[in-house]
Amino acid sequence: MFAAVDVHYLPGGGARAAAVLAADAAFCDLLADYTRQVAGVAPYQPGQFFRRELPPLHAVLDGLAGIRLLIVGGYADLDPGGRPGLGAHAHAEFGVPVIGVAKTAFRTATHAVPVVRGENSARPLYVTAAGLPRGQAADLVRHMAGRYRLPDALRRADALARGHPPQP
């Protein structure tokens, strides 16, 4: 089982996390969607984003057995030296390989693999990984279902986390 996740911070406090589960790494065969809300989250602190994201991710992923790969929005590591980002912390926390898919370039993440997806997109996604080679992670992201820049599974997780019904 493969999971794409996202977290949205609610205006009144707390967060909603979403997980989209699939039977395949390309997310062509979707199995289920899950959302969970948590009442309190840590305040944002530069360099400590994982402290804010991990509790909602635990809320939505705990109890789901058999996850072999996790895909998160953001970076697995933040520089070529391996300074851990959300993905590295999630890899350590959940014990599965994690692919980080970022929509914007991070100045120190010069090692991220740019992946151009989508019929009309010229802007790349920036792919990093923890627990598997970056090149393999980039190939997986390149071949994920969806015709847009952002793979459908990540778009779906984002919509669910925001409380919106996902678009087909």
The whole-number pLDDT of residue 67 equals: 96
| Domains, the chain | 2-161 (3.30.2170.10)
The whole-number pLDDT of residue 50 equals: 76
SS (H, E, C) 45-94: CCCCHHHHHHHHHHHHHCCCCCCCEEEEECCCECCCCCCECHHHHHHHHH
The whole-number pLDDT of residue 167 equals: 64
Instruction: State the CB neighbour count (10 A cutoff) for residue 159.
Output: 18
Tokens of 126: 């920036």
Q: From the first residue on, what is the mean pLDDT of each consecutive set of 10 residues in the chain (168 residues)?
A: 95 93 96 93 73 90 94 94 93 97 93 90 94 97 95 96 79
Tokens of 83: 């300074």
Q: With a threshold of 0.75, does the pTM exceed it?
A: yes
The whole-number pLDDT of residue 113 equals: 97
CB 36 within 8 A of CB 16: yes
The whole-number pLDDT of residue 47 equals: 66
